[in-house]
Each structure stands twice: as structure tokens, then as C-alpha cells.
Amino acid sequence: MSRNAQNDHLTRLEQTSIHVFREAFANFRSVCMPWSMGKDSNVLIWLARKAFCGKIPFPLLHIDTTYEFPEMYEFREKAKAIHGIDLIVRINEDAIRRGIGYATHDPVTVTHELKTVPFKAAIDEFKWDALVTGIRRDEDPTRAKERWFSPRSAEGNWDYKDQPPEFWGQFASVAPEGGHVRVQPLLEWTELDIWEYIRRENIPNPTLYFARNGKRFRSLGCHPITHPVDSPASNIDEVIEELKLTKVSERAGRAQDHVGRNSMQELRAKGFM
Amino acid sequence: MSTSSLPSPAAAQAAAQAAAEDQRKMHVVVVGHVDHGKSTFVGRLLNDTDSLPNGKIEQVRKNCAAEGMEFEYAFLLDALIEEQEQNITIDTTRIFFRTTQRAYAIIDAPGHKEFLKNMVTGAASASAALLLIDAKEGVMDQSRRHAFLLSLLGVKQLVVLVNKMDLVQHSQETYDKIRTEYTAFLKSLGLHAVHFIPIAAKHGENIVNRSTKMAWWTGPTVTEALDGFAHEDDLTGLPLRLPVSDIYRFDHRRIIAGRVEAGAVRPGDELIFQPGGRRSTVRTFEDWPGPESRAVVGTGGSASVTLSEQIFVERGQVASHPSNQPRVGREFRARIFWLGKEPLVPKKTYKLRLLTQNVDAVIARIEKITDASTLESIQADSVPRDSICEVVVRTTHPVAFDLHHECAVTGRFALEEAGRIHGGGIILDAHKEQSAREGKVTAAERGARSGHAPAVLWFTGLSGSGKSTIAELVERRLFDAGRQVFRVDGDDLRTALNRDLGFSAVDRAESVRRASAVAGLFANAGHISLVTLIAPLAADRAKARAALSNHAFIEVFVDAPLDVCEQRDVKGLYAKARRGEIAEFTGISSPYEAPESPEVHIRTDKLTTDQAVDLVLDALDKVLRSKAEDWEV
């Protein structure tokens, strides 16, 4: 299969994502892209540069929980320089002063305090009306129901019971009063697509995804609650071969998803990505 | 913590082969009457294609045993989308599976309430559909209704699955009867099913594995039929349709951004942008990370184009080749599906979105309303939720479009109200309203003809500040974009209408009054009038604004420092004034009261002329868009 063929699977995904980026930028007053520095986030940066001919015309937001892997902070600075990123960093200093942390609190509480709370505060501060997220339908059942443009109320709530219809490339173009719209260019991508695209485009990524001593990370979050999976895949080709055959869910190593049966749903209803 | 197991060599080989076959995921929608076995079918399909996560089936079997229920494949689907656990109202979702040939996403749009909305959202992105009919019950309401919606949404590849064959003793006679009846119905909608496959989803018969109980069936299994579907979305052979989504000016480049919806575009192609009709040639594609430029951008590809000439281009216009252009007009007949909580009513203004075009539109006439569930005609003055109608649509601005059967992507649109999409439609034919009208011509009629509300742009500033330069460019851009526009220039007025006036305070006030009256006449005639006048006194300008209060009024303060204007002195007036040859010259011997809150403030020493023109056009655009006039005629 030719890499440049208009119709190859990855190119089609890429071109659709670019269309979503461009529609968001044309429709909304003020766009921001949260950046986790994970693989999906890094693919988004790449797609944004393609959509806007090299320049990302809006800021990126890193919600720093202070529990990132040290390698991720190094990667952040490197990627910032490579892509010319206008980066906003926010930490919930208040929660940290109150002693919220993984040593003393459960993952759902910590995720809420150190991610969702400062995230909402940043939205209040900057009044963005569109936020670009890297979520994919294949990640989690609640995400499978998502729309390309997904309105969120002023409280950040997702009204999944009454989502706008979406067809023929026409999206919800107006943010609810005081709220914002989540723009999700990677909705149709799968984990395998992400890795094949990273390989094809040679997109910079943290090396934590590759196996060291028989273990690698498939999904990256706060280090106390993110566990590596057993895997010999020490480079991108091996990761791709492994993913083609695995039937274990991608977020299996992310503890906050699995505290209770409905923890992901609870987190998302409160504004988590 | 989870451990991923390593695959067997045989499985690895099969997977590698599958990946090589067709990487493009095909989207398939599954529809059919309630209880005709959709969930069971999908559960069985996932199971038989080995597409379930590890342990899922064991887990569901265990849950069933714990609750004393018999295991059913339908539960598998429910478990997969966690409906039972989370009690989320079902909405469109995606379920992925893979045959040996390629990857699929099943778009699952179940639910009874809100069905039409979910079906539309799901099926509009599907390349193909599977429609289930219960062999025992036969063709039911929803069997017909769903096919009708598929035809409306343009899903043409259809396979009918005659399910529950086990309940009719695998009877070929029953199968044939359903096939005959339903084929006739499909034909009435212009649809054709590629296959009617007899299956028993519960037992996995003819899904992946061939049934041993229906030896009479020699056609394909479901997965064989799926693998026979073609991706229908390659429209590269059609005429070029490249809607403009944006103009990027992040650096020295001016890039026209858009997605090729049909056809293909190459550097060197002459393009015409409709509505408006301006032409230019594609100079380059500005792809990142270049530098090599693509030789062609085909359907579905995003284009980043620079043009040879700096013509006026805006979001919404559709670029095509001059030899094969879309239609441009303000009226067409359409078939619409309506999802809004409030009924669709004639003469109310909705936003019509067609590709990147976004214009005000009204339903001029309702010709026919059909209930989407019964397919029966409804007699009503408005279109209730979940129904289909044929209507005449009239837009305030010209729209570039094709008929749906000529080019589907430019032949369909969405209707929006208050930022939310409430309906969609396909364009059946371009329509010309022939009815004679009586009585005097109204402002709304004039507005409908020019395609926009009238407005007055009032440019004020010192002599030499650049009022005329900017106004002329604004006029040019508006004219080229098809707007009715006329410039009322202070200097021109002085040679005729204002020949009797000098520069005293009284005469200046009278000159402003006359200019506002002239501008008002042009606005009454449906034009955007551009007034360029020094009009130095705030009180005079306030009177002009008041006199024109029934029109959109935009004061543009062209603000250049006196020394800059004096340096330019294009007409040599400042030199004369300094020599005392002109009395009461504004800025020298007569005051200029700068506007305190003009709608547009142009610092000519800080902005380029192009930026200034853009500022004015942006402000005008906002005002015109906000003038939600009733365009009813």
C-alpha cells in the first residue's frame, strides 16, 4: 500500500481530523488544546500543525498534577521547542497545600482535585469556548457515544442523554451559555491507528511506551497509579505488532478507571476528559 | 494489573494478512424493527469474528448464571456498551470488529425515543446498511420506515438479513415470500438490496459460518456480503467542489483552507469561487511539513491553497473549475427530516448550513409532510418532530449548491436554530417562485433581492487620513462578493449637491445632513452605502446616526495623526491651509472632535490598509448577520 495514496486508512483519518480542527478554529472565538504529553496528545499536535500549515494558532494547556513521570517533564520542554508551542501550565497549588495526594487519598479524589478542578479553573480564567481533546471512541464505552463537537454546560457537564445530532460534516457550532464545546478530532482513531501514524510520520513521543526489563506503559497518567503491562515490545514496530493481536484493554493500567464499576462515568460526568 | 499474552504464530500471520488486505475501516449501520434480533445479531457477529475482549463472554455467562437467566448473545452487546451497568440512555455508539478482509465499525443506533436523531447521526456516516427482518413476523412498520430513512440519507448499499430462520423451520418458501414483498417496497423508494441472506443469529447460522440447515441457500454469508461492499465515498471522478473553511494569515502567506468534497484540484488550475464569481489560479499547496507539494488533492483531502491573484475569498464560498460550476441561487425544493422539539414552521428564520456556507433561510412553502414512523401523509401548517417533508427553501443570500442526485455532498444541508442542528435535507431541484405580487415594493423584498440587509458605513477622519482609500477597497471587496454597494464621497458631493456650501460650522452641519440623507436613500434602495466625510463635529455625526437609525449604522473612525496626514497631503490642502489660503481647515484652523466610541477604530499608523479593510468588513459582517430580518416575501 502506497503511503501517499489518498485513500489509505491513516491518510483518511488524518484528513478528517484536519477538517475537524479547521471547522473548530473557524467556528469558535477562543480555542485551547489540553496536552497530556501522551501519544494521542502528541498526534493531535502533529495534526494541528498540518491543519494550520505548520503553526498552532492557539495555546496548549498542561494541567500538571505534580505526579508526572520525570521523563514527561523533560519531554514537555523538548516538544515545546520542537513544535513552537504556546504553553499554559496550571497546578492546583491549593489542593497540594491541603495535602491531597496519592499517599493519603483515593485515585478518584486525587484525579478530581489535581486534574478536573484546575482544568475548570483554567477554563474560567481564559474563557475558552472550544477545547480540543484527544479522546477516541475505542478507549472506553462512555467515550464511544461521543460526538466530534460535544457541548459542555457552564458546570462542565456532559448531557449524554440529549446530544445534538451530527451528520454530513455539520457540527454543533455554538457553545452553550457560559460553557464550551469539546472538539474531538481523534474520535474515529484506534490505539493501533495512533501508533501506525506515529510510525509513519515519525512523531516525537516519550520513550516510556517502550519496554524496559519486560514491561512498558500503554497509557500514561500519574506515576503512582499508572502501571506498566508485561510486554517485550521495545520499539515502535514491536508495539504495533503486539497491538494487532492483543485483546486487553488499553486503559487496564490506569487505576482511576477501575476503582468502582462506574468510576469512569463519574469522572466524566464531573468534567474529566 | 493486566498482562498481555503473546499471540500464536498462526494468528499473527492471519492478522498480518488481514492488515494488508484493506486498512480502511468500513462503517455499517444495523437497523430493523424492534425485536427482530439486532442485538443478538451484533453479539453473535462479534463472537463469531473473534472480536470480543478477553473474558467478556465468560463474564456475561457468569452474570447470567448468577441472576438465574439463560445466556443470550444480546446481553453481550449490552455488556459491551455497559448499558445495564450505567443505565445511560442509548445513543449512537460504535462497535469494532474485523473479518479476514478488513476492519468494520458497526454504528449502533438503537432506542425508540429519539430514534430518528440517533439513526441520522449514525447512518449519515455509514457506507452500508444491514436491515433485519424477522422471518416469523415478516415485514413490519419499522422495516419500511428504516429503509425510507436509508434512502433519504443516501445509504445505497443494503443487505437484508431474514433472521430467526430457525423459527420457521428454515423454510425457503417463507424466505422467498419476504424477499418478494420487501423487494417491491424497496423498489418504490429507489433502493435495491444486494442480497437477502437467510440467517439464524441466535445459532450463528450464515453469519460467519455457513448453515448446515439451509442447503438451499447458495449465496454469501453475512461476512462475505460485508466484504463485498465497496467504499462509496470516493468522489474523485466528480467535478471539483472545494468549500472554503477559512483564510489563514499566520505569516506572510495568505492560505485558502478547505476540504475537497468532490473531484480533485491541482496547482495551475483556474478556480472560480461561488457565490461571487471571482476567479484565480492555484499557485501552490502549502502542506506542512513540506517542502514538497502534492501534485493533486483528491476527494476527502484537505487543501491549503495560495492563489496567483489576491481576490476576495471568504468562508462559505465553494471553489470549482469554471467549466463545471455548482448552481447559485436563493431558492430550491428539498426533502427535509425534522428533529427539533419545536415544529418546523414556515416564514421563521433558520440557519441553513451547506458545507461551510451559513445563511439565513425560511421555509417558503410546505408541499408535503410524511410521518417518519407510519409513512402516512400529514395535513398540517407546520412540520412536527420526527417527520419528513418536502418544502421550498428560500435563503437570504445566494447559496452555491448542486442537486442531491448530481453531487450528494453539495446537495444536502442542515438546519440550525440557536446553535443547534434540528434537521437536515437534500436538494431535489432548483425552484423558481412564479407567483405574481401586488402592492408597493417593500424593504424586505428589496433585501431579499440584494440578499442582505442594507447598512450605512460612515467613515470619519481628518483630510488625508485614508478614508477614501479604505472605503474604495471595502467597496471593491463587497462588490466582488455580490453585495449591492455604493460610495457617497464628501468631495464628490461638494461638486454638485453641496456646491452651495462652504466650510462654516453651519454649512458643515448642512453638508453632513445632506450626506446622511443621500446615504439613507441608497440604504432604502437596499444598498450598503459608504459615506466618506470629514464631519469634524460630534454633534453633527450624532444627528446623522439618529437620522439613519432605521438602518444598521457603523461609524468607522479613520484615525491618523495630524502630522502624518499633513505629511501625505495628497491634495495639497494642508499646504494651502498653512499658507492661510483655506479658512477653517479641519485640524489646522478648525477643530476635529474624534469619535468617542466608533464601531470601528482604525489606527492607520498601526495597521496596513488590508488589515483596516478586514476590520471594517468583519464589523459589517457581524452587523448584517445579527440583522435577523424576516425575509418573508
Q: What share of chain B is helix, strand, coil (3-state, %, to 5)?
A: 30, 30, 40
Residue of A nearest to B114 (CA): A162
Which residues in chain A have their CB less than 8 angstroms from residue B84's CB? none
Is 80 exceeded by the pLDDT of residue A237?
A: yes
Task: Write the CA distances from B415 to A60, A144, A256, B124, B427, integer angstroms.
Answer: 33, 26, 41, 15, 13
Angle between helices A191-201 and A236-245 (to 10 degrees): 160
> What does DSSP assign to residue B344?
B
Which of helix, strand or coil describes residue B568?
Answer: helix
| A145-159 per-position pLDDT tens digit | 678 999 888 777 777
CB neighbour list of residue A56: distance below 8 Å, 6 or more residues apart: A33, A45, A48, A49, A83, A84, A85, A86
Banded pLDDT at B281 (limits 50, 70, 90): very high
What whole-number distance in Å separates Cα of residue B321 and Cα of residue B262? 12
Banded pLDDT at B437 (limits 50, 70, 90): low
Q: Are A179 and A156 in contact (CB under 8 A)?
A: yes
For residue B9, tell me if it sits in a domain.
no
Among B434, B468, B488, residue at a domain's last position: B434
Residue of B nearest to A175 (CA): B419
Which of helix, strand or coil describes residue B558?
Answer: strand
Which residues in chain A have their CB less than 8 angstroms from residue B413's CB? 168
Which residues in chain A have their CB less than 8 angstroms from residue B422's CB? 165
Residue B621's nearest CA partner among B226, B312, B195 is: B312
| B107-163 per-position pLDDT tens digit | 765 555 566 777 777 777 788 899 999 999 999 888 888 888 888 887 878 999 999
Q: Are A192 and A239 in contact (CB under 8 A)?
A: no
What pLDDT, on the 0 to 100 scale, is given for residue B50? 86
CB neighbour list of residue B356: distance below 8 Å, 6 or more residues apart: A23, A26, B243, B244, B245, B258, B315, B316
A99 phi-psi bin (left φ>0, alpha ψ -120 to 50, beta other): left
CB neighbour list of residue A168: distance below 8 Å, 6 or more residues apart: B124, B409, B412, B413, B414, B424
For residue B426, tell me if it sits in a domain.
yes
Is 60 exceeded by the pLDDT of residue A260?
A: no
Do B300 and A15 count as a contact with CB atoms less than 8 A apart?
Answer: yes
Which of B88-97, B191-200, B337-346 comes out lowest in average pLDDT?
A: B88-97
Do B231 and A7 count as a contact with CB atoms less than 8 A apart?
Answer: yes
Question: B418 versus B174: which is more confidently predicted?
Answer: B174
> What does DSSP assign to residue A113?
I
Do A174 and B20 count as a contact with CB atoms less than 8 A apart?
Answer: no
CB neighbour list of residue B45: distance below 8 Å, 6 or more residues apart: B51, B97, B106, B207, B208, B222, B223
B29 touches chain A (CB under 8 A): no
Angle between helices B467-480 and B609-626 (to 10 degrees): 60
What whole-number distance in Å separates Cα of residue B269 and Cα of residue B48? 50
Among B176, B203, B227, residue at a domain's last position: B227
Q: Which amino acid is at B148?
A: F
What whole-number distance in Å separates Cα of residue B555 and Cα of residue B258? 33
CB neighbour list of residue B439: distance below 8 Å, 6 or more residues apart: none
What whole-number distance in Å separates Cα of residue B528 and Cα of residue B615? 16
> What does DSSP assign to residue B210?
P
Do B3 and A137 count as a contact with CB atoms less than 8 A apart?
Answer: no
B16 touches chain A (CB under 8 A): yes
Residue B17 burial by Cβ neighbours in a 10 Å radius (0-12, 13-18, 19+): exposed
Is 90 exceeded by the pLDDT of residue A174?
A: no
How many Cβ atoms from other residues are within 10 Å of residue A71's Cβ?
14
Do B289 and A54 count as a contact with CB atoms less than 8 A apart?
Answer: yes
Residue of A nearest to B412 (CA): A168
| A46-79 per-position pLDDT tens digit | 999 999 999 999 999 999 999 999 999 999 999 9
Of A1, A169, A262, Cβ closest to residue B86: A262
Banded pLDDT at B633 (limits 50, 70, 90): very low
What pLDDT, on the 0 to 100 scale, is given for residue B215? 94
Is 70 exceeded by the pLDDT of residue B498?
A: yes
Residues B503 and B375 in one domain: no
The three-state DSSP-derived secondary structure of B503-532 is CCHHHHHHHHHHHHHHHHHHHHCCCEEEEE
CATH code where residue B207 lies: 3.40.50.300
Banded pLDDT at B217 (limits 50, 70, 90): very high
Residue of B nearest to A140 (CA): B81
| φ, ψ for residue B102, nearest 5 deg | -165, 175
Do B24 and A7 count as a contact with CB atoms less than 8 A apart?
Answer: yes
C-alpha cell at B327: 448552481
CB pairs under 8 A between A and B: 184
Which residues in chain A have their CB less than 8 angstroms from residue B244's CB? none
Banded pLDDT at B178 (limits 50, 70, 90): very high
Do B246 and A25 count as a contact with CB atoms less than 8 A apart?
Answer: yes
Cell 418532530, residue?
B385
Do B93 and A145 count as a contact with CB atoms less than 8 A apart?
Answer: yes
Residues B41 and B167 in one domain: yes
Banded pLDDT at A261 (limits 50, 70, 90): very low
Is 80 exceeded by the pLDDT of residue B24?
A: no
Q: Are A231 and A242 in contact (CB under 8 A)?
A: yes
What pLDDT, on the 0 to 100 scale, is given for residue B96? 77
The end-to-end CA distance of chain B, in Å, is 68
For residue B41, tell me if it sits in a domain.
yes
What pLDDT, on the 0 to 100 scale, is given for residue B516? 93
Task: Please identify among residues 51-70 of chain B the ones whose CB lies closer than 8 Å to any CB of chain A.
Answer: 52-54
What whole-number distance in Å separates Cα of residue B395 and Cα of residue B416? 13
Which residues in chain B have their CB less than 8 angstroms from residue A215's CB? none
Residues B202 and B249 in one domain: no
Domains of chain A: 9-190+262-269 (3.40.50.620), 207-257 (no CATH)
List, as one string, the DSSP characters of B257-315.
EEE--BS-B-TT-EEEEETTTEEEEEEEE--TT-SSPPS-B-TT-EEEEEESS-----T
Closest CA–CA distance from residue B464 to any residue of chain A (Å): 35
Percent of chain B at pLDDT exceeding 70: 88
Q: CA angle, corner A164, sides to A160 and A167, nearest 5?
A: 125
What whole-number distance in Å separates Cα of residue B570 and Cα of residue B238? 53
What pLDDT, on the 0 to 100 scale, is given for residue A122? 95
Residues B347 and B305 in one domain: no
Residues B380 and B526 in one domain: no
Task: Write the CA distances from B52 to A47, A190, A249, B49, B58, integer angstroms.
Answer: 31, 15, 11, 8, 11
Of A10, A137, A247, Cβ closest to residue B94: A137
Of A54, A141, A168, Cβ closest to residue B82: A141
> What does DSSP assign to residue B127?
S
Residues B161 and B296 in one domain: no
Closest CA–CA distance from residue B140 to any residue of chain A (Å): 26
| φ, ψ for residue A149, nearest 5 deg | -115, 115
Task: Write the CA distances from A6 to A11, B258, B289, integer angstroms.
Answer: 6, 16, 17
Which residues in chain B have their CB less than 8 angstroms from residue A233's CB? none
Residue B509's nearest CA partner among B575, B593, B569 is: B593
Which residues in chain B have their CB less than 8 angstroms from residue A248's CB? 2-4, 53-54
Residue of B nearest to A250 (CA): B2
Q: What share of chain A is helix, strand, coil (3-state, %, to 5)?
A: 40, 10, 45
For residue B163, tell me if it sits in a domain.
yes
Q: Are A59 and A87 in contact (CB under 8 A)?
A: yes
Residues B559 and B418 in one domain: no
Residue of B nearest to A144 (CA): B93
For residue B237, tell me if it sits in a domain.
no
Do A168 and B124 count as a contact with CB atoms less than 8 A apart?
Answer: yes
Determine the longest span between alpha carbons in chain B, in angstroms: 111
CB neighbour list of residue B361: distance below 8 Å, 6 or more residues apart: B349, B350, B351, B352, B393, B394, B395, B396, B415
Is 80 exceeded by the pLDDT of residue B492?
A: yes
Do A53 and B286 count as a contact with CB atoms less than 8 A apart?
Answer: yes
B216 touches chain A (CB under 8 A): no
Tell me how many domains chain B contains.
4
Antiparallel, parallel or unpaired: β B318-320 and B242-248: antiparallel
Cell 456650501, residue?
B501
Task: Please identify among residues 173-192 of chain B the ones whose CB lies closer than 8 Å to any CB of chain A.
Answer: none
Residues B386 and B505 in one domain: no
What whole-number distance in Å separates Cα of residue A128 and Cα of residue B248? 20
Is 70 exceeded by the pLDDT of residue B497?
A: yes
Which residues in chain A have their CB less than 8 angstroms from residue B301's CB? 6, 11, 15
Q: Are B175 and B163 in contact (CB under 8 A)?
A: no
B424 touches chain A (CB under 8 A): yes
B212 touches chain A (CB under 8 A): no
Which residues in chain B have their CB less than 8 angstroms from residue A18's CB? 259, 302
Among B303, B320, B337, residue at a domain's last position: B320
Residues B83 and B211 in one domain: yes
CATH code where residue B331 lies: 2.40.30.10
Residue A93 burial by Cβ neighbours in a 10 Å radius (0-12, 13-18, 19+): exposed
B95 touches chain A (CB under 8 A): yes
Banded pLDDT at B262 (limits 50, 70, 90): very high
B241 touches chain A (CB under 8 A): no
Do A22 and B257 count as a contact with CB atoms less than 8 A apart?
Answer: yes
What whole-number distance in Å separates Cα of residue B380 and Cα of residue B384? 9
Do B412 and A142 count as a contact with CB atoms less than 8 A apart?
Answer: no
What pLDDT, on the 0 to 100 scale, is given for residue A41? 95
Closest CA–CA distance from residue A68 to any residue of chain B (Å): 20
Q: Are A120 and A127 in contact (CB under 8 A)?
A: no
Is 60 exceeded by the pLDDT of residue B168?
A: yes
Interface test with A, best of B421, B427, B622 (most A CBs within 10 A): B421
Instruction: Pinpoint the alpha helices (H) of B352-501.
Output: 443-450, 467-480, 490-495
For residue B424, tell me if it sits in a domain.
yes
Residues B45 and B138 in one domain: yes
| A4-38 per-position pLDDT tens digit | 344 578 988 999 999 999 999 999 989 999 999 99
For residue B6, tell me if it sits in a domain.
no
What whole-number distance in Å separates Cα of residue B193 and Cα of residue B179? 10
B621 touches chain A (CB under 8 A): no
Closest CA–CA distance from residue B481 to any residue of chain A (Å): 19
Instruction: Pinpoint the alpha helices (H) of B114-205.
Output: 115-123, 141-153, 172-188
Average pLDDT over residues A213-227: 90
Residues B533 and B603 in one domain: yes
What whole-number distance in Å separates Cα of residue B426 and Cα of residue B411? 6
What pLDDT, on the 0 to 100 scale, is given for residue A273? 60
Cis before B326 (ω within 30): no
Q: Give the range of the structural domain holding residue B410, as residue numbers without chain letter.
A: 327-434
Do B288 and A50 count as a contact with CB atoms less than 8 A apart?
Answer: yes
Of A25, A164, A262, Cβ closest to residue B421: A164
B567 touches chain A (CB under 8 A): no
The end-to-end CA distance of chain A, in Å, is 35
Would you mind telling me the total number of residues written for chain B in this entry? 633
Which of helix, strand or coil describes residue A47?
Answer: helix
For residue B234, tell me if it sits in a domain.
no
Do B304 and A25 count as a contact with CB atoms less than 8 A apart?
Answer: no
Residues B314 and B334 in one domain: no
Average pLDDT over residues A233-239: 94
Edge-to-edge strands, sheet with A87-90: A87-90, A60-63, A31-34, A130-132, A180-183, A149-152
Interface test with A, best of B102, B233, B245 (most A CBs within 10 A): B245
Interface test with A, best of B5, B21, B22, B23 (most A CBs within 10 A): B23
Which residues in chain B have their CB less than 8 angstroms from residue A141's CB? 80-82, 86, 93
